Structure 1
Amino acid sequence: MHGARRRWVGAAYPGGVLVLLPPSETKSVGGSGSPLDLDGLSHPELTPTRRKLIEALSTLADDVPASLEALGLSERQVDEVRRNSELWDSPTAPALERYTGVLYDALAVRSLSAVERKQADARLAVASALFGIVHGTDSIPAYRLSGGSPLPGLGTLRGAWRPALEPVLAAADGLVVDLRSGAYAALARVPSAVEVRVLSEDATGKRKVVSHHNKAHKGKLARALAQSPDEPAEVEDVIDVANDAGLRVEREGTRKLCVVVQA
């Protein structure tokens, strides 16, 4: 297959590949960036929704018990509420360094070369319950808000984000690879996106959906797409990049891929 490998040329998003990552509940604390500046984030058309949600979340933080209940947190996680109360004043960090956890450990952006990091910042974007979508160069504070958490007075986040975020994602004129989890995919539908799931295969060839290590394999795929010197333009290009990186990726449908791992 490698001998017949496609070569393609493309520009960084917009116009190139856009890889949508799920966020993580855990985030790094602190940062060296200045406090949040909504005008400095990508996709300024999302600013009104971002501002509305930030104001609602920071106001909710004034009532600690209500915050814990709304966000599904325990009393041991009260520091998460404190961070929400400081959204406008706390230091920021690049989005790809703010999120932590299994997927982001596998992505390991800090270990990328300068060229690869520039590509990661352009090609990868994180679906965020608070910011809608953020790219690698967007500096954001630590916060706590899940895609399925309703905010008092605002209803569901899906209702808040769909009208604003779906047109932004629909405007992407290159290939979109969707690695988001269900709660974040629900915030904005992308009918043209390539969906990816992870399956484990046992010695008999039987496959089942991977749950625990799902994020790690998606992180490895995101890293491969960030590192590729060529810009993926078609579904087969994604398969080529993944296979070259040692991943086993197969096509399941016109716009569906699966990462196959050994059970």
Structure 2
Amino acid sequence: MFILLPPSEGKATSGEGPALDTGTLTLPELTGARERVAAALTDLCSGPEDTAREVLGLSVTQTDALKRNLDLATAPTLRAADLYTGVLYDRLGLPGLLAEHGRAVRDRVLVFSGLWGVVGPDDRLPPYRLSMGVKLPPLGALGAYWRRAMTGPLGELTRDHLLVDCRSAAYAAAFRPTGEAAERTVAVRVLREREVGGQTRRSVVSHMAKATRGDIARSLVSEGVGARTPEELVGALRDLGHTAELPPAAKPGTARTMDVVVRD
């Protein structure tokens, strides 16, 4: 089983490890693709600041991010587990999970990135800022760029494994399993349930969804869940106290959506 995660907008801003070595990252087959994105990002951030901020979707107060993007080759690195912060990662607690369940975390968790494509928790990275939704000159939309580069290598890595997809839409665009692989993919959707006027209503949530996905990923790793099918996944989560439901697939050859229900 693999757990597919988005990165976080919030990141640590400094490391203390050796400089980046792209050849040591998960899926070294992507080294060339990673270096092309890094070069394009450096070129962009070397030019006019206004242009770079506009392309990257940054405000004037986030100019420091441009400097970090210029230092990719020389900046001290830190583990992806320590780099990514924010609601999902606060609830997931990757550093603690690595300390207690090292191999299980390394073998199961994949983090998607606009700059690196996909990385593992132990991969050492410099601080950076580049979201998957960016259209990066001259490479274009990064979701499409990484989908072309990653479909083969990542499809091979995850062959025959259940995929628990906790990514947002922008990062899901970078890798879309099809056919039999899609039938082994479960997208995690979080629904909020509450009583309104005596009736039970459900709605899709956003901020709360990040926390809940972090909780789900933590439960799967810390409890050693080894589900092989969507049905086994739902059963395991129910046993762990989560309210999980698995509607039927829309049609054969498509991913399932698992609803995790949180209540007020």
TM-score calculated relative to the size of structure 2: 0.89
> Of 12, 32, 44, which aligns to 1:48?
32
Cα pair 1:109 1:117 within 8 Å, conserved: no
1:176 aligns with 2:176: no
CA 1:90–1:129: 2 relative to 1, 3 Å: same
Cα pair 1:21 1:179 within 8 Å, conserved: yes
1:239 aligns with 2:234: yes
Cα pair 2:22 2:31 within 8 Å, conserved: yes
> Of 91, 111, 121, which aligns to 1:106?
91
Cα pair 1:70 1:150 within 8 Å, conserved: yes
**1:186 corresponding residue in structure 2:** 173
Instruction: State the 1:113 CA deviation.
Output: 6.7
Structure 1, unmatched stretches of 5+, are: 1-16
**1:258 corresponding residue in structure 2:** 259
1:202 aligns with 2:194: yes
Instruction: State the 1:232 CA deviation.
Output: 2.0
**1:10 corresponding residue in structure 2:** none
**1:223 corresponding residue in structure 2:** 218
Q: Distance between the aligned counterparts of 1:182 and 1:219, measured in 2? A: 16
**2:252 corresponding residue in structure 1:** none
Cα pair 1:119 1:226 within 8 Å, conserved: yes
Question: What is the number of equivalent residue pairs in this alignment?
Answer: 247
**More deviation, 123-132/154-163:** 154-163
Structure 2, unmatched stretches of 5+, are: 250-255
Instruction: State the 1:237 CA deviation.
Output: 2.8
Instruction: State the 1:169 CA deviation.
Output: 2.8
**More deviation, 47-56/187-196:** 187-196
Q: 2:120 is aligned with what amino acid? A: H
1:118 aligns with 2:119: no
**2:2 corresponding residue in structure 1:** 18
CA 1:240–1:94: 2 relative to 1, 3 Å: farther
* Larger RCO, structure (CA 8 Å, separation 6 or more): 1
Cα pair 2:144 2:173 within 8 Å, conserved: no
Cα pair 2:45 2:70 within 8 Å, conserved: yes
Show CA shifts across 1:160-200 (max 9, x none). 11111112232212111111100111122123121110001
1:27 aligns with 2:19: no
Q: Distance between the aligned counterparts of 1:34 and 1:240, measured in 2? A: 43
1:130 aligns with 2:115: yes
> Of 128, 131, 143, which aligns to 1:158?
143
**2:253 corresponding residue in structure 1:** none
CA RMSD of superposed structures (Å): 1.5
Secondary structure at the counterpart of residue 118 of structure 2: strand
Show CA shifts across 1:107-140 (max 9, x none). 0123337342331222111011111110112111
Show CA shifts across 1:204-253 (max 9, x none). 33211011211000000111111123422222332233234332111122
Aligned residues with identical type, % of pairs: 40
Cα pair 1:18 1:124 within 8 Å, conserved: yes
